[in-house]
């Protein structure tokens, strides 16, 4: 058999013919390898562990599927899906130049905040009209709270809820063991505006209106209202978030009241009402509003009976003025014993004339003695309110008191 290239002596021609031959041979191998029954055998020549396509339980394939599944699950945990993200409108449209100088530059078109106000016109208008501004907003540092592109949180916030506020502000609930329930259970934005407002402390409303959202019965239709309450200055006495004292007071009750009221009790007081000495002003007074003068919870003597025994219940005779405790006694302190408003002789003399007193034989020679030596100032067994043993010594066993 005579081959075409048998008589060819040119090396170049022989090389071309050999290349064609090798190409044809590789083509045959490839075609054979693409067949289903031979694919796995040919791949195993070059790669180890190629699974048999006809096998019913492929361990390698199973491992691969598990690996892929795990990777997908981890990715979902680490990175929320786009459907769960809140996306800034320009970023969603890939309109980079809405904020940046170009799509290839991170440089913004203006100063911090100015770019945001190009679209958020209502916020800009509100900021310009408000007296109190949140410093990050005023400085144009929108990114301290918001993500400019996308976020899993509403309003493109960097964090959820109070956590965002606490990145700059100290935790207000750490100020004491007594915590304001509204603060503990709610959100900072229940009371505060995040950007700007006309009220101190970035409150959404005035302090009075803010507190009245929950505390609606403090004043109601009461006739007498504590001045700080009427002025809506709740923080004159209370701390808004947390504190060390009951009712969220800034100081103990005694010190709180002493901030505005004269020193009670005075240092030179001879007798002090026990609640006053204990600093328990609220035993008698309502701190906000009441129907009674001087913010007392009840009128005398009902108020006095809260602590003192009611000696009027079983009394046969009573002093005419005994229903008006404050007619003779001081409520807080006195320079006299028993919280008397005056010296006992002067006090009794306000109602009893000297002429009438001298007309009583038993009074002769006893003008300088205290009236309560013989008389009970409140109640007695006869109309003269005489005390048994003392009266007997002065006016005799018959108890005569006439002329």
Q: How many CA atoms lie within 13 A of 149 on its CB side?
A: 6
pLDDT tens for each residue of 203-227:
999 999 999 999 887 888 889 999 9
Average pLDDT of the chain, as a whole number: 82
Return the structure tokens found at 302.
């009902």
In which band, very low, low, confident or very high, does the pLDDT at 362 lie, cut at 50, 70 and 90?
Answer: confident
pTM for the whole structure: 0.68
pLDDT band at 314 (very low <50, low <70, confident <90, very high): confident
pLDDT at 92: 94
pLDDT at 23 over 60: yes
31-58 pLDDT, tens per residue?
Answer: 554 555 555 565 555 444 455 655 544 4
Sorting pLDDT into bands at 50, 70 and 90, what band is 329? very high
Q: Is the pLDDT of residue 5 over 70?
A: no
User: In this predicted structure, what is the pLDDT of residue 361?
Assistant: 84
Who has greater pLDDT, 5 or 240? 240
Q: Give CA–CA dist 170/379, Å, rounded.
A: 62
- Give the model confidence (pLDDT) of 116-162 as tens digits: 999 999 999 999 999 999 999 999 999 999 999 999 999 999 999 89
DSSP for 226-257, written as a single string: -HHHHTT-GGGTB-SSEESSGGGBSS-HHHHH
Which of 141-157 are b and which e, b meaning 16 or more Cβ less than 10 Å from the residue's Cβ?
A: ebebbbbbeebeeeebb
The whole-number pLDDT of residue 56 equals 47
In this prediction, residue 26 carries a pLDDT of: 62
At residue 391, the pLDDT reads 54
First to last CA, the chain: 179
DSSP symbol at 262? P
Decide if 334 contacts 396 (C-beta within 8 A): no
Hey, what's the torsion of the CAs at 11, 14, 19, 25, to 10 degrees?
A: -150
Query: Which has the higher per-residue pLDDT, 403 or 278?
Result: 278
Instruction: Kindly indicate the confidence band of residue 265, based on its pLDDT and cuts at 50, 70 and 90.
Output: confident
Alpha-carbon Rg of the chain, whole angstroms?
48
């Amino acid at each position: 058999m005579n081959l075409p290239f048998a008589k060819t002596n040119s090396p170049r021609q022989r090389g071309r013919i050999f290349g064609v031959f090798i190409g044809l041979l590789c083509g045959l191998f490839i075609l054979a390898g693409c067949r289903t029954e031979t694919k796995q055998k040919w791949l195993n020549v070059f790669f180890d562990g190629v699974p048999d396509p006809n096998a019913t339980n492929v361990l390698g394939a199973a491992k691969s599927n598990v690996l892929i599944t795990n990777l997908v699950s981890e990715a979902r945990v680490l990175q929320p899906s786009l459907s769960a993200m809140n996306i800034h409108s320009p970023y969603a449209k890939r309109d980079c130049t809405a904020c940046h100088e170009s799509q290839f530059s991170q440089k913004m078109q203006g100063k911090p905040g100015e770019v945001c106000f190009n679209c958020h016109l209502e916020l800009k208008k509100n900021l310009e009209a408000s007296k109190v501004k949140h410093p990050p907003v005023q400085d144009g540092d929108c990114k301290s709270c918001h993500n400019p592109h996308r976020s899993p949180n509403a309003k493109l916030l960097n964090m959820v809820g109070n956590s965002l506020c606490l990145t700059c502000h100290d935790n207000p609930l750490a100020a004491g063991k007594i915590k304001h329930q509204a603060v503990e259970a709610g959100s900072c934005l229940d009371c505060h505006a995040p950007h700007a407002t006309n009220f101190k402390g970035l409150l959404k409303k005035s302090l009075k209106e803010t507190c009245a959202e929950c505390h609606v019965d403090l004043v109601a239709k009461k006739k007498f209202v504590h001045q700080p309450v009427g002025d809506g200055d709740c923080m004159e006495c209370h701390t808004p978030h947390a504190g060390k004292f009951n009712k969220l007071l800034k100081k103990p009750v005694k010190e709180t009241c002493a901030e505005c009221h004269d020193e009670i009790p005075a240092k030179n007081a001879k007798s002090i009402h026990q609640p006053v000495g204990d600093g328990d002003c609220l035993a008698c007074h309502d701190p906000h509003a009441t129907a009674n003068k001087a913010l007392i919870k009840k009128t005398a003597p009902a108020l006095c009976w809260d602590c003192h025994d009611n000696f009027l219940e079983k009394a046969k005779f009573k002093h005419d003025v005994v229903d008006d405790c404050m007619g003779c006694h001081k409520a807080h302190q006195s320079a006299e014993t028993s919280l008397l408003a005056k010296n006992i002789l002067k006090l009794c003399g306000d109602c009893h004339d000297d002429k009438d007193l001298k007309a009583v034989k038993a009074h002769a020679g006893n003008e300088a003695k205290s009236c309560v030596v013989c008389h009970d100032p409140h109640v007695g067994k006869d109309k003269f309110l005489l005390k048994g043993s003392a009266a007997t010594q002065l006016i005799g066993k018959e108890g005569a008191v006439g002329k």
